[in-house]
Amino acid sequence: MITQAMTLDRYLWQQQKAFNIPVELSILISQIGYTAKILTREISRAALVGQLGLVGDKNATGDAQKKLDVFSNQTIIEAFSDTGLVAALASEELEMAKFMDCRNHTPYVLCIDPLDGSSNIDSSGALGTIFGVYQRKTYNGCCSVEQDILRSGTEMVAAGYILYGTSTVLVCTCGHGVNGFTLDTSLGEFLLSHLNLQCPSESKYYSANLSYAQEWQPHIQKLIVHLNQQHTSLRYSGALVADVHRSLIEGGVYLYPSTPDYPDGKLRLLYECAPLAFIVEQAGGMAITETKRVLELQPLSIHQRSPLIIGSKATLTLYEQMLQA
């Protein structure tokens, strides 16, 4: 059969019917796929069109802003303007929430890291996009940051990431399992390539910036010693999405723990930790801060940080046993 490949849109339509998912949510994820195609093109030609390097500013969270960070954020904003899908946007690249469409029929809040791992841009390393979607709660005019955006991850209705690596892979969940789609650039279509992803229980790899190891809590250091004794190989790409995707496919754990200088770690809860936690839990893995389930954290601000340990269930269960010991 010539057309047996399952496109992202066809899969979303099937999932919509099977699980009674609103058509607007399917269209939102499809539109994320559209932005991923634009970013795939721009990332691959960045060196040729002057898109490498820094803008010279810092972003909302104080990180040096790369030209592609700005391009990615603008691409997301334009892709959802006037669609009637996204009422408010919380982005790593925007200090404040952006109220996109205050009309009452606009159903969703989108939390997004448009370009994760941008320190890899100039060296052509892996990059990613991470997103989480919430159903709007208030419908009297514009959204409320407190009531519509600062939500615990358990209220998420969809989450996903795009990995811009040797291929572009979009992985997403609407709460009914996790599936991955690989971009066929000759067709311009995301095609189903990873059906019903399950995170292997045991870790083949672990990902962490060991230059901070001496500053981590003792039980984190104990876990690292155990992983090294098991000859669990270290793979650390500098892009959270790439390391979490590897953990999901091969089995592994990614750690970005707290340190005395960063008591809440480095990563952002709303648009990095929580969406990835939703995905990994849906695939049978686990995601914790150092003591709590990430999805149960209640954000107090848009750019709130959180420590993150995420990946294979057996490894995180062992860590929790070490914690209790």
Interface region with ligand P6P, contact rule CB under 6 A, candidates 26-34, 116-124, 164-172, 317-325: 116-124
User: With respect to ligand P6P, which residue has the nearer C-beta, 192 or 213?
Assistant: 213
Distance separating the N- and C-terminal Cα atoms of the chain: 57
Instruction: Please provide the DSSP assignment of 207-266 as one string.
Output: E--GGGGGGS-HHHHHHHHHHHHTTPEE---S-HHHHHHHHHHH-EEEEE---SS-TT-S
Task: Please say whether the beta carbons of 312 and 251 come within 8 A.
Answer: yes
Residue 209 is assigned to a ligand binding site: yes
Closest CA to 246 of 180, 292, 294: 180
Closest CA to 94 of 85, 86, 105, 104: 86
Q: Which of 42, 101, 272, 281 does the annotation list as catalytic?
A: 272
Examine the residue annotation and report whether 290 is marked as an active-site residue of this protein. no
Our finding on whether 121 is near ligand P6P (CB under 6 A) is: no
Our finding on whether 119 is near ligand P6P (CB under 6 A) is: yes
Residue 254 is assigned to a ligand binding site: yes
How far apart are the C-alpha atoms of 302 and 96, rounded to whole Å? 8
How far apart are the C-alpha atoms of 315 and 251, rounded to whole Å? 10
Least Å distance, CB 152 to ligand P6P, is 21
Examine the residue annotation and report whether 113 is marked as an active-site residue of this protein. yes
Examine the residue annotation and report whether 116 is marked as an active-site residue of this protein. yes
Examine the residue annotation and report whether 92 is marked as an active-site residue of this protein. yes
Least Å distance, CB 321 to ligand P6P, is 26
Residue 92 is assigned to a ligand binding site: yes
CA dihedral 282, 283, 289, 290 (to 10 degrees): 130
- For 269, phi then psi, to 5°, come to -70, -50
Examine the residue annotation and report whether 270 is marked as an active-site residue of this protein. no
User: What is the contact mask toward ligand P6P in residues 21 to 40, using x (rule: CB under 6 A)?
Assistant: --------------------
Q: How far, in whole angstroms, is CA 113 from its chain's centroid?
A: 7
Q: Is 103 helix (H, G, I), strand (E, B) or coil?
A: coil
User: What is the contact mask toward ligand P6P in residues 232 to 251, using x (rule: CB under 6 A)?
Assistant: ------xxx-----------
Our finding on whether 114 is near ligand P6P (CB under 6 A) is: no
Examine the residue annotation and report whether 101 is marked as an active-site residue of this protein. no
Choose, by CB under 6 A, the member of 69, 93, 101, 116 that binds ligand P6P.
116
Interface region with ligand P6P, contact rule CB under 6 A, candidates 54-62, 77-85, 113-121, 293-301: 113-121
* Interface of this chain with ligand P6P, residues 161 to 220, rule: CB under 6 A: 209
- For 77, phi then psi, to 5°, come to -60, -50
Examine the residue annotation and report whether 122 is marked as an active-site residue of this protein. no
User: With respect to ligand P6P, which residue has the nearer C-beta, 245 or 266?
Assistant: 266
Examine the residue annotation and report whether 148 is marked as an active-site residue of this protein. no
Closest CA to 272 of 91, 147, 75, 97: 91
> Radius of gyration of the chain from Cα atoms?
19
Least Å distance, CB 208 to ligand P6P, is 8
Residue positions annotated with a catalytic role: 63, 69, 92-93, 113, 115-116, 272
| Chain residues in the site for ligand P6P (CB under 6 A) | 116-117, 119, 209, 238-240, 266-267
Can you say which residues are annotated as belonging to the binding site for Mg(2+)? 92, 113, 115-116, 272
